[in-house]
Structure 1
């Protein structure tokens, strides 16, 4: 649930269905199970999983004590280490979600009262069943109220809606919007990996967004969006770690769950040391985000002091959201078109006046642009590859993008089975080593001038699916001199 800064947050455990009973019993034995809140199905806001309905959220009465980290570390600090391996993720929620329930109940009761006075009022046989089926969690992304996909889907609600007119149903959501201080209401589901007919959902379109109230703008169209489309779309925003992000919910996604990774980048020693080195030598420091989206990680780099971030995304709606989010922080931004022809023009201008350079194109074209711009921008010290389930297709570009004379860090987002995280991470390190060797000149390779790639850290971000973890690998690539031309 989206909460204000003054509210107390308490831990909840995201657990696969088969472990719910054991986890609940363990919490009850320690007297830390919050019986005032219901065990509920996990939603897209809780886990990245496409099978999130097989997971459940179990509430505790343990107040949040520190920033989120690896699940095993949190469980250890909560004296729940015996639940390691059964808990997929630990999240923080408002302690008393009865406030959500009571708000929903108030709205519904107001609607039922008005409904009973209409001339075509359907019979409401079981008010308790309706109230019991109300959602207890929600997110507010101003000015939108986003509800779980199961909201108002119980048999009682389906029966009531089938007996109501469209006007009567719309009135419910109008009252709901007013009660929560928003102008739009919708339900959402996890972003599918594939769109219709099995085609890969490359741009991560939220095809399962279901608007319930308010004008969400034109439906998704196949043409390349223009200024008119952006101006007539519905936009929302959220603030995390003091950074505002903006997106059009009908056209692109927002992942609340990567907040801990965004926060980690703000204080990551390798980022801060790169910034400090750039300050000392006067060259500055740049980063590249090959899957920028609406600025999830690009904004964290800027907030940490990185002088310039180059961004790539194939979704023009994401780049427009990035542009609007940058404006909220007064970060200057220059957007390059899909054709990329203005890269040469940009290289002749003062690029350093733009904190962000955003390219609406595939990152397959990134290296050619970087090679044109490299002499006009600060040294690239960090590259973020934030695609799930794997970013493998961008690794060669990422290694080649780093400044050859200084080297730098790759932050690779990958999905690993729980029992294979360490071994798979080492395989990734070996693959990055192979790529680094292949990119240097044959003479340098013969002289043994290729240093060792180092796996610096494995960050467990969040459960992606039962038994599968979204991890970020921090991989250091050493300097390599001049890499092969055209690489």
Structure 2
């Protein structure tokens, strides 16, 4: 937080004070006001790398679907869920929302913009009749500037319009928190103004923002780093670059193994996507908005629906495993799709607590297992089917032995989700082993692929899964021909992860490793 500016005794010069007040009021009143909100209609905007902006804009203009009333603006990590979103821009269109979320190429095809697929990283929906982030932001900042001009130690404000132009144009509200892009209030004008303000004046700015947006907390956040500052892998995906600006975000806990008291006193937020509520502690747990399309796909995925239906018909039910559960990104979608039970693994105790709270918010029963093996054996003696979620706060390397103990007491595992980026390779063998051996099932493997290598790399993954299936089905080296063929059912392009790199999900079907009789 900037240190207080030295006192300048401006009250000794009342004429200067009055002139400064009039100048600020005049600048604010002369600034072009935003159009009033008249509609909640959403319009598509395209997130495009800088080198393709001109071509995309020209293509939209040629089709007469470019929205000239809205400016092309830099994209932020709120637009592109990526570690490398720099150099991307949001190009607005006047095409109203007409399809559900989906892969970029599918949406572009539905909009008759398929020829832009190679140049568009992401498609987002915005309100064209009101840049709501800008109008709400400006209203709050204007209020703050007006109040600032009346304070005893008011700093000089030379160019209000430049300050207002430099406000963030995007934001996220995760009740009760306003999350701003990391570049917020970082323009030269804003840095100079805030450095001249006292701590109280700076705090008042973010308090005014919180009031204007109807929240109690304000923060900025940078993308989740793959490595911690010490250079080691950020296995728990902690949001190390969250910067609280206003509100009590709870005590800082250095350990990744929080106590009950730590969990109770932490600051928790929530979001709803696809009618499913998720809960997390922003200081300790990540939240990925960009996974919304994959979450939605699971809700209606034919392989999931058929597994659920088959479980109802044979009376055995249907279970799924999420080896990187987090706060329930995909586990909750399986439950909403009708899966009877989901077994979850995550090493981050903060994520598991978010999973527990989110389950409660969605009215799903959950049982959190301790790290001790005895907890699993005790659970096996009870009625596990009363819990829709079984959560393990431990490495998924332990999943095979846990599943072996529990398999006779839970529905057949017909789906396994491996949602770790940039690769889930370390869990593939565990995923194959988790499937019910007499029924087989589906693996949903999250991977990052270079654009030109998606198909070839996907086939390589299929071959690797085949190798694991053979090894598990024939531990004593029976011939491969005795094992059914692993099938690459679908490649889903989820979103751009970095320039030239796509986050993909591979739907892979693994045949039974044993006959119906268990042989």
SS at match of 1:23: helix
TM-fit CA distance, 1:340: 4.0
Alignment of 1:458 onto 2:494? no
CA contact (8 A) 1:340 1:359 kept: no
Aligned to 1:297: 330
Of 365, 370, 373, 2:403 maps to 370
User: Counterpart of 1:10 in 2: which secondary structure?
Assistant: strand
Partner Cα separation in structure 2 for residue 174 and residue 447 of structure 1 = 66
Larger radius of gyration: 2
Shift of 1:20: 1.2
Q: 1:339 and 1:41 mapped to 2: Cα distance? A: 49
Q: What is the Cα deviation at residue 77 of structure 1?
A: 2.0
Contact 1:88 1:467 in 2 (8 A): no
TM-score normalised over the length of structure 1: 0.96
TM-score normalized by structure 2? Answer: 0.90
Note if 1:206 corresponds to 2:239.
Answer: yes
Q: Which residue of 2 aligns with 1:283?
A: 316
| Displacement over 3 Å in runs of 4+ | none
Q: Deviations over 1:190-244 (max 9, x none)?
A: 1010111211000000011111110011124125101101110000000111100
- Measured in 1, the distance between the counterparts of 2:130 and 2:495 equals 23
- The equivalences for 1:325-364 within 5 A come to 325-364=358-397
CA deviation string 1:343-363 (max 9, x = no partner): 011111111111000000000
Instruction: Give the SS at the match of 2:45.
Output: strand
Worse overlay, 68-77 or 193-202:
68-77
Deviation at 1:60, TM superposition (A): 1.1
Aligned partner of 2:68 in structure 1 is 35
Question: Do residues 414 (structure 1) and 447 (structure 2) align?
Answer: yes
Q: Give how far 1:466 is off.
A: 0.8
Q: Distance in 2 between matches of 1:223 and 1:80?
A: 46
The answer to whether the aligner puts 1:308 opposite 2:345 as a matched pair is no
* Offset at residue 444 of structure 1 (A): 7.9
**Pair 278,387 (structure 1): closer, same or farther in 2 beyond 3 Å:** same
| Alpha-carbon distance, 1:99 to partner | 2.9
* Contact 1:245–1:322, Cα closer than 8 Å, also in 2: yes
Residues 1:272 and 2:305 aligned together = yes
The match for 1:219 among 252, 259, 282 is 252
Is the contact between residue 220 and residue 250 of structure 1 (CA under 8 Å) also seen in structure 2?
A: no
Change (3 A) 1:195 1:482: farther
- Distance in structure 2 (CA, Å) of the matches to 1:399 and 1:351: 23
Q: Take 2:460 and 2:259, find their aligned partners in 1: how far apart are those partners?
A: 43
CA distance in 2: counterparts of 1:9 and 1:275, whole angstroms: 34
Q: Which stretch shifts more, 12-21 or 155-164?
A: 12-21
SS in 1 for 2:332: helix
Task: Note the C-alpha offset of 1:31.
Answer: 2.0
- Kept in 2, the 8 Å contact 1:97–1:136? The answer is no
For residues 63 and 402 of structure 1, the distance between their equivalents in structure 2, rounded to whole angstroms, comes to: 43
Contact 1:343 1:369 in 2 (8 A): yes
Q: Residues 313 and 360 of structure 1 are in contact (CA less than 8 Å); yes or no, is this contact kept in structure 2?
A: yes
SS at match of 2:490: strand
Residues 238-282 of structure 1: CA distance to partner in whole angstroms, max 9, x if unpaired? 011110000000000100111111011111111111111111111
Please report how far the alpha carbon of residue 161 of structure 1 lies from its aligned counterpart in structure 2 after TM superposition: 0.2
CA distance in 2, matches of 1:47, 1:338: 36
Show the counterpart of 2:41.
Answer: 8
Alignment of 1:167-206 (within 5 A): 167-206=200-239
The match for 2:158 is: 125
Match of 1:100 among 118, 133, 153: 133
Q: Gapped runs of 5+ residues in structure 2?
A: 1-36
Q: How do residues 235-254 of structure 1 correspond to structure 2 at under 5 angstroms?
A: 235-254=268-287
Q: Judge conservation of contact 2:71–2:92 (CA < 8 Å) in 1.
A: yes
Higher deviation after alignment, 435-444 or 128-137: 435-444
Question: Alignment partner of 1:196: what SS?
Answer: coil
Calculate the aligned-residue CA RMSD, in Å: 1.7
Partner SS state of residue 86, structure 1: coil
2:191 to 139, 158, 172: 158
The size of the alignment, in residue pairs, is 480
* Structure 1 segments unaligned to the other structure (5+ residues): none
1:112 maps to what in 2?
145
